Amino acid sequence: MLNILVGGFYGDEGKGKIASYLSLKDSPHIAIRTGSINAGHTVCYNNNKWKIRIIPSAFVNKSTKLMLGPGALTSIAELIKELKETNSEDRFFMDYHVGIITEKEIYEERNDENLMKSVGSTGQGVGYAEAKRILRILKLAKDYPELSKYTIDVPNTLIEEIEKGSEILAEGTQGTYLSLYHGEYPYVTSRNTTSSGILSEIGIGPKYVKDIIIVFKSFVTRVGNGPLEGELNEEEAEKLGLIEIATVTGRKRRVAPFNIKLAKKAIQLNTATQVAITKLDALFKDAYKVREYEKLPSEAKKWIEDLEDQLKVPITLIGTGEDAMDTIDLRKEKLGE
Ligand code: IMP
Ligand code: MG
């Protein structure tokens, strides 16, 4: 079966951390990523830290095969760099139709004043490359001989594996409100970031989906422009210890408190079946690195229980620290699995 991980706010919810935990815990046969190199993921495990932009965060489990679906885009340089840094070249596969971003699209995007100044793009050439794909002039992975050792028919491989009973983890990127269709246009990215978009990018229909796990951070952050309800000024955010630095661009992230209205709507847009909450320790310092629910401070437990009452979807995973294993896993208790 297929499990999908999707971001519920504006990206940077901690999907990379949850994906790395799930890969270590569940050992999926394949982890597949969507999206492109504008999306940074931070993965910490065993005192190592990686900042990756294109390979699945599940790379920390050495037995998991890593794939990019046909809807993904990458630059060859970034892909090769990450495969080396994570030592995962021999278990990586990409679909023939992955779009290839070149220096030209990066240059074009960085000189596009509307995208860079008004939207606040990350400047990785993703929007320009996707526009060229729509115009049918973008080159794909199959057009580059140096990629031939990685290229396969990904949807076909996924279906064969699912039908054999293998478990697949699809790692979405960015967040629901950056979706080209469902986000706050024009302050959005160049793809549909929701669960249905993830399915279409990897080439599988909904029949095989088991769970859709939506990831929310314990507060909301946004990089780039566009609305952010309840935005704190930098000083307030600093005082609360909520300032983060963006993985790809190095910009300071804008900060707002957890937004229940956005969370509810995101659950609908994604038909989420489980909720993962990350960075609980940012709100409750004594929750740091706690790995058992009973050991959480009582205010933290109350916060989680109130939230679950409102969202009406089980909160099954709770992140309490940067390491992949700093995770409280309530799936057995909540779902009987
Ligand atoms: P673009 O996708 O680089 O054009 O950026 C469009 C908007 O989406 C900008 O506000 C970016 O900051 C934001 N964005 C794109 N990718 C990510 C991501 O992975 N995390 C957070 N924001 C992102
Ligand atoms: Mg990120």
Q: What are phi and psi of 138, to 5 degrees?
A: -80, 140
- Indicate the SS3 state at residue 23: helix
Contacts for 269 with CB less than 8 Å, ≥ 6 apart:
176, 179, 182, 194
Confidence band for 183, pLDDT divided at 50, 70 and 90? very high
Residue owning the nearest CA to atom 14 of ligand 1: 189
pTM of structure: 0.97
Nearest residue by C-alpha to atom 1 in ligand 1: 121
Q: What is the mean pLDDT of residues 245-268?
A: 94
**Residue 106 sits in a domain of what CATH number?**
3.40.440.10
Q: Are strands 65-68 and 99-101 parallel, antiparallel or unpaired?
A: unpaired
DSSP string, 142-207: GG-GGGTTTEE-HHHHHHHHHHHT--EEEEEEEEGGG-TTTSSTTSS-SS--SHHHHHHHHT--GG
Q: In the predicted model, what is the mean pLDDT of residues 278-289?
A: 97
Instruction: Name residue 251's beta-bridge partners.
Output: none
Q: How confident is the model at residue 248 (pLDDT cuts 50, 70, 90)?
A: confident
The domain total for the chain is: 1
What residues make up the domain containing 153? 2-335
Q: Is the CB of 190 under 6 A from ligand 1?
A: yes
pLDDT at 337: 73
Beta bridge partners of 51: 42
Distance 246 CA to ligand 2 centre (A): 7
Q: Is ligand 1 within 6 A of the CB of residue 119?
A: yes
Residue 148 has pLDDT above 80, yes or no: yes
Mean pLDDT of 124-143: 98
pLDDT at 249 (0 to 100): 87
Ligand 1 center–CA 291 separation, angstroms: 32
pLDDT at residue number 336: 86
Mean pLDDT taken over the chain: 97
52-96 pLDDT tens trace: 999 999 999 999 999 999 999 999 999 999 999 999 999 999 999
